[in-house]
Amino acid sequence: RTVKATSGRQIFQPLHTLRNAEKELLPGFHQFEWQPALKNVSTAWDVGIIDGLSGWMASVDDVPADTISRRFRYDVALVSALKDLEEDIMDGLRERGLDDSMCTSGFTVVVKESCDGMGDVSEKHGSGPAVPEKAVRFSFTIMSISIRLEGEDDGITIFQEQKPNSELSCRPLCLMFVDESDHETLTAILGPVIAERKAMMESRLIISVGGLLRSFRFFFRGTGYDEKMVREMEGLEASGSTYICTLCDSTRAEASHNMVLHSITRSHEENLERYEIWRTNPFSESADELRDRVKGVSAKPFMETQPTLDALHCDIGNATEFYKIFQDEIGEVYLKTNPSREERRRWRSTLDKQLRKKMKLKPVMRMNGNYARRLMTREAVEAVCELVPSEERRETLRKLMDLYLQMKPVWRSTCPARDCPDQLCQYSYNSQQFADLLSTMLKYRYDGKITNYLHKTLAHVPEIVERDGSIGAWASEGNESGNKLFRRFRKMNARQSKTFELEDVLKHHWLYTSKYLQ
């Protein structure tokens, strides 16, 4: 309601009218200290918005460097987010029947980190060609807070984020006008953020919550990244590489023959070791042997990400693949060799027309979450089946979609053990059935190749769910929805000045995510 009044008018107050009441919701208001003090991080606590490139001025060319990035200091932002949850923390202690005057230490905070590049955020200024500008946003979400009492082994959860994928819980930390493929600038800006995070993992935060000083430890889990970003952060080759997976060492050919049986082996540490091997080539091998030894690690991993699967992009990736299967089936590719471009184009427009007529689905340039959700349904398959001549092939498509819809809730749900226990138990069986269909009925498509997300969906989901309890809760969705807010705030609530616009967007966006204001 702060941003869109019911009347449709914009009512978010411009910045100079933020009163003191709201100032205390922005980072830099509350006092705190770290024990031991953070390595290489100033002990000042009243730090608001800072320049994301501080200290790098001279080395960034072609842009006035002080305009491309704004961020909060990570620890200051976390303090502000925790103080915003103060009431929830106190309520949580009360509900668990804990005496809050006894609970001053042993708190653990689990943080989800997300980072995503946005295409086209160009200035909309009058005529002339639109210049594509790119932006990258780094955000975090406080997922849960628990406390471990003296002498107890298990922690007691006192706060759990109920909507971990909402833009309302996803707090912006760093905004930058950078292309996510520009590794140098990206690392220059995120470097300090990562240094701060590393320092915080080895220290405890002391802040006053509910009138008493309490100590908190932080765990960070970088899970809100799409595959492109994970590969960039972890030093792996790009998505088209033969090393198809960010979780295991499988090659594309292996993954297409053995679709289901793989386990998670990659980790940040291993990637760092492999990079050293790649750099030094200790066994004097040829380029191909060396590449096989390091399984596609060819740059220095720069940030730890959790080896997991991003539910949103998994959905999008698999829908893209189904969309292509539908086209192939309409054109009966299994009977033909190399159909021409013209034929393929015809099948595609036939499919688009049918989906528009039966499902009211407009064709999209790039697959997005909403289109994916509507394409992956029984109705969509029935619509496509009307265009498929052979009854046997229609059965295959229905069966594929049914299996997929049985599997999907397991990696979409915030808590599969609670929401869809039966599908969770059946997952491995279903994925095996699915794989068998692909390798028999759709052999023309999956002979020696398979898409990255299909491999992950079939091979890795049960193991991740067993380890983390959920895949859906850790998705990048909140940050992706935050992208929309970024565009809106930049249009409506920011000063038209290169120096201030990011600052204003960051400030507004932060306030928008405040639980207290909600």
Q: What is the DSSP string of 110-156?
A: EEEEEEEEE-------SSSPPPP--EEEEEEEEEEEEE--TT-SS-E
Local structure of residue 238 (DSSP, 8 states): P
Q: For residue 12, what pLDDT is reported?
A: 55
CA distances from 483 to 49, 315, 327, 477 (A): 19, 18, 31, 10
Q: For residue 516, what pLDDT is reported?
A: 87
Backbone angles phi, psi at 216, to 5 degrees: -125, 140
Number of Cβ within 10 Å of residue 468's Cβ equals 14
Residue 19 pLDDT class (50, 70, 90 cuts): low
Q: For residue 131, what pLDDT is reported?
A: 54
Lowest mean pLDDT among 4-8, 295-299, 373-377: 4-8
Backbone angles phi, psi at 17, to 5 degrees: -95, 5
Q: For residue 1, what pLDDT is reported?
A: 45
Residue 281 pLDDT class (50, 70, 90 cuts): very high
What does the pLDDT look like over 41-81, one tens digit per residue? 999 999 999 988 865 555 555 555 667 899 999 999 999 99
Residue 38 pLDDT class (50, 70, 90 cuts): very high
Number of Cβ within 10 Å of residue 122's Cβ equals 12
pLDDT at 5 over 70: no
pLDDT at 408 over 70: yes
What does the pLDDT look like over 72-111, one tens digit per residue? 999 999 999 999 999 999 999 999 999 999 899 999 999 9
Q: For residue 319, what pLDDT is reported?
A: 97
Q: For residue 18, what pLDDT is reported?
A: 61
pLDDT at 245 over 50: yes
Residues 504 and 493: beta-carbon distance below 8 Å: yes
Lowest mean pLDDT among 84-88, 355-359, 416-420, 492-496: 492-496
